Copies of this chain bind each other. A is one copy, B any other.
Amino acid sequence: MRLELMTSPAVADYLTRRQGILIPVGATEQHGPDGLIGTDHLCAQAIARRCGEEHGIVVAPTLSYGMSQFHLAFPGTVTLRPSTLAAMVHDIVASLAATGFRRLYFLNGHGGNLAPLRCGIQEYHAARSLAGGEGLASVQCRLKSWWEMPAADALRKSLYGAQEGFHVTPSEVALTMATHPDVIAPFDRPPPITVGEDLIVHAGDNYHDAADYRARFPDGRVISHSALATRAAGEELLKLAVQDLSADFDAFCRAA
- Verify if A121 is at the interface (C-beta below 8 Å from B): yes
Instruction: Report which of B122, B134, B180, B210 forms a contact with A67, defined as CB distance below 8 A.
Output: B122
- Verify if A157 is at the interface (C-beta below 8 Å from B): no
Which B-chain residue is minimally distant from A128 (CB atoms)? B209
Chain B residues contacting A210 (CB-CB under 8 Å) are 125, 128-129, 133
Instruction: Report which of B10, B32, B98, B141 forms a contact with A72, defined as CB distance below 8 A.
Output: B98
Chain B residues contacting A256 (CB-CB under 8 Å) are 196, 216
- In the assembled complex, the Cα of A81 lies from the Cα of B136 at a distance in Å of 20
Chain B residues contacting A74 (CB-CB under 8 Å) are 8, 99
Q: Which of A3, A88, A129 has the most chain B CB within a 10 Å cutoff?
A: A129
- In the assembled complex, the Cα of A125 lies from the Cα of B210 at a distance in Å of 8
- Verify if A235 is at the interface (C-beta below 8 Å from B): no
- Verify if A212 is at the interface (C-beta below 8 Å from B): yes
- Verify if A96 is at the interface (C-beta below 8 Å from B): yes
Q: How large is the interface on A (under 10, 10 to 19, 20 to 34, 35 or more residues)?
A: 35 or more
- Over the window 107-151 of chain A, the binary record of Cβ atoms lying under 8 Å from chain B Cβ atoms (1 yes, 0 no) is 000001011111111110111111111111011111110000000
Chain B residues contacting A142 (CB-CB under 8 Å) are 202, 205-207
- Verify if A46 is at the interface (C-beta below 8 Å from B): no
- In the assembled complex, the Cα of A220 lies from the Cα of B12 at a distance in Å of 13
Chain B residues contacting A35 (CB-CB under 8 Å) are 7
- Verify if A159 is at the interface (C-beta below 8 Å from B): no
CB interface residues, A 28-54, toward B, < 8 Å = 28, 30-38, 41-42
A5 touches B75 (CB 8 A): no
Known: A8-B37, A70-B129. A140 touches B180 (CB 8 A): no
Nearest 4 A-B pairs (CB), nearest first?
A4-B38, A115-B118, A61-B64, A129-B210
Write the residues of chain A forming the contact surface with B, with a CB cutoff of 8 angstroms: 2-12, 15, 28, 30-38, 41-42, 60-65, 67, 69-70, 72-84, 86-88, 90-92, 94-96, 98-100, 112, 114-123, 125-136, 138-144, 180, 183, 196, 198-199, 202, 205-212, 216, 220, 251-252, 255-256
